[in-house]
Amino acid sequence: MNQLSRTAVVTGGASGIGEECARQLRADGWNVVVWDRSAGQGGDVAVDITDYAAVAAAAGQLDGVDLLVNAAGIAGDRGPTAEKKPAEWDAVLAVNLSGTFYCMHALYPQLKARRGVVVNIASVAGMVMAKGRAHYAVSKAGVATLTRSMALEWADDGIRVIAVAPGYVRTPMIQRSIEAGELDEQALAAMHPMNRMASTEEIAGAIIALSKPPFLFMTGAVVNIDGGYTLGK
Catalytic residue set: 136
C-beta of residue 60 within 8 angstroms of C-beta of residue 109: no
C-beta of residue 164 within 8 angstroms of C-beta of residue 209: no
Residue burial 42-73, b: 16+ Cβ < 10 Å; e: rest: eebbebbbbebebbeebbeeeeebbbbbbbbb
C-beta of residue 13 within 8 angstroms of C-beta of residue 71: yes
Dihedral sign computed on CA atoms, order 122, 194, 180, 36: negative
Q: Is 163 helix (H, G, I), strand (E, B) or coil?
A: strand
- Could you tell me how many residues make up the chain? 233
Q: How far apart are the first and last CA of the chain?
A: 46
The string of DSSP codes covering 2-38 is -GGG-EEEEETTTSHHHHHHHHHHHHTT-EEEEEETT
C-beta of residue 77 within 8 angstroms of C-beta of residue 27: no
